[in-house]
Amino acid sequence: MFLPTSVQWRTPLSLQIVLAAIVLISSFFLPESPRWLARQARYGEAAHNLSYLRSAAVDSTEIIEEMVEIRAQIQEEVSISRGRTIREIFERKNFIRLLWSLAVGLFAMWCGHNGILYYAPVVFAQIGYTGQNSALMASGIFTCIKFVSTIIFLIGGVHFFRRKTLLIGGSFLMGVLLFALGAVLATHPPTAASNEPRSPSAQGMMALIYLYVVAFSLSWGPLQWVYIGEIFPLRIRDYGMAVAAANIWLWNFVVSKITPIAILNIGWKTWIVRHLLRY
């Protein structure tokens, strides 16, 4: 049952206040990071928190060895980053890395995934699933497929394949699938009498979207974050990752703003444009 008033969107938004309150209250009980404490030379507190997180005694061999390892790593990091400034990120050898990280974030956001994720009911309505229940169900399945595919990537793909191989392979597959989606949508628009939710064309477009999210979740989706974490040297890694992450969220905002406008004005051509951005 759907209420034709603002209650239908105010209620789910209000329920999120409860979850936010739980997160806020829980944060007061969250143990501080042992590495951060050690970096502030608060080694006793670091060992205590580490023992809590590991469920081991403070004087156990496990905790002592890990604390020795943490102290050694922090001393190395402090030694490497001593005297640095943020301007170093714009030096030629580092600036090239910065440009690559920005490019990866740009194309990961413009590949079409976030547009589908944020406006899934609208996208599925565009391909013929105009009923509210069917559109919501289709978007829920989309999210579940993404979750499972990302787990598969974390368990297997990220450890066994080169980063470049995954990015190229993902781009190729996503480009082909988006082109196919745009082509079918152009030849079998949802206004056609034959394009009902159960029609072959509607089901085919849904399958293309699901295959697309699999390709995204096995490559560009999670790999963009891995890549920006690995490309910078340790001395400026936090600076580089901060700029790269800000770039990702900037384009995430732009894409989420433009997608509904594009679907409304150019329809199926939206997915052809996203296809071209894959190459």
Domains of the chain, CATH where assigned: 7-81 (no CATH), 86-277 (1.20.1250.20)
State the pTM of this model. Answer: 0.74
Structure confidence at residue 21 as a pLDDT band (50, 70, 90): very high
Residue 163: CB partners within 8 Å, gap ≥ 6? 223, 226, 227, 230
The pLDDT value recorded for residue 163 is 87
* pLDDT value at 41 more than 60: yes
* pLDDT value at 13 more than 70: yes
* pLDDT value at 195 more than 60: no
Structure confidence at residue 244 as a pLDDT band (50, 70, 90): very high
Distance CA 124, CA 210 (A): 11
* pLDDT value at 4 more than 70: no
Distance CA 84, CA 105 (A): 25
Structure confidence at residue 258 as a pLDDT band (50, 70, 90): confident
- CB-based contact 135:278 (threshold 8 Å): no
Segment 20-24 mean pLDDT: 91
Counts of helices then strands in the chain (DSSP H, E): 14, 0
Residue 188 in tokens = 């079998």
The pLDDT value recorded for residue 155 is 83
The pLDDT value recorded for residue 189 is 72
Structure confidence at residue 112 as a pLDDT band (50, 70, 90): confident
* pLDDT value at 224 more than 80: yes
Distance CA 35, CA 49 (A): 10
How do the residues of the chain divide into helix, strand and coil, expressed in percent and rounded to 5?
80, 0, 20
How remote is the C-alpha of 261 from its chain's centroid?
A: 22
Least confident segment among 12-26, 142-156, 261-275: 261-275
The pLDDT value recorded for residue 174 is 87
Rounded percentage of the chain residues whose pLDDT exceeds 70: 89
Listed in order, strand segments (DSSP E) in 165-230 are none
* pLDDT value at 201 more than 80: no
